[in-house]
Amino acid sequence: MIPINNKLISFPPVLPQNPKVLILGSMPGKVSLEKQEYYGNPRNHFWPIIFELLNESPVDDYRGKIAIAKRHGLALWDSIGSCYRQGSLDTNIVDEEPNDILAILEEYPSIRLIACNGTKSYTTFKKNFNLTAYPDVNVIKLPSTSPIPGKYTKSFTGKVNAWREILHYL
């Protein structure tokens, strides 16, 4: 049994005026929570993948990263609103409660794609939400950008190629 003390709360969503793609992580990792930044672990491939896909020069400051995402119609949030977890592994998440993704879709009808960053984000989304009322919104599972090595970890180039799918919606 893993001792778990504090409930983790995800960040508020990052929303441009007319988002086209909603990228859902599962729950920010320990480094991201400490920095209060989406994908704040410098080893995470998320921001390098986004810069590559959008043909943007990399920036180090978080505000600059968020500005790039917003400028290109990317919204960021997490499928899990709160949970308990020791460390940063998704496999250690317990007592998860989802974020209200449908409220975002209701408020922002410009969203046409929900791109789940990894398996945990995708399975949490699918378990908690039915998009019958949103037939124009597609949902895809993309390889995790996490720096944690796994059995099915793709190379950086492999991740970039898989993540290219979001470009069809921007």
HEC states along 66-127? HHHHHHCCEEEEECEEEEECCCCCHHHCEEEEECCHHHHHHHCCCCCEEEEECHHHHHHHHH
Residue burial 54-76, b: 16+ Cβ < 10 Å; e: rest: eebeeeeeeeebbebbbebbbbb
**Catalytic status, residue 92:** no
Structure tokens at 66: 């968020």
Select which of 5, 6, 41, 44 is catalytic. 44
- Write out the catalytic residue numbers: 44
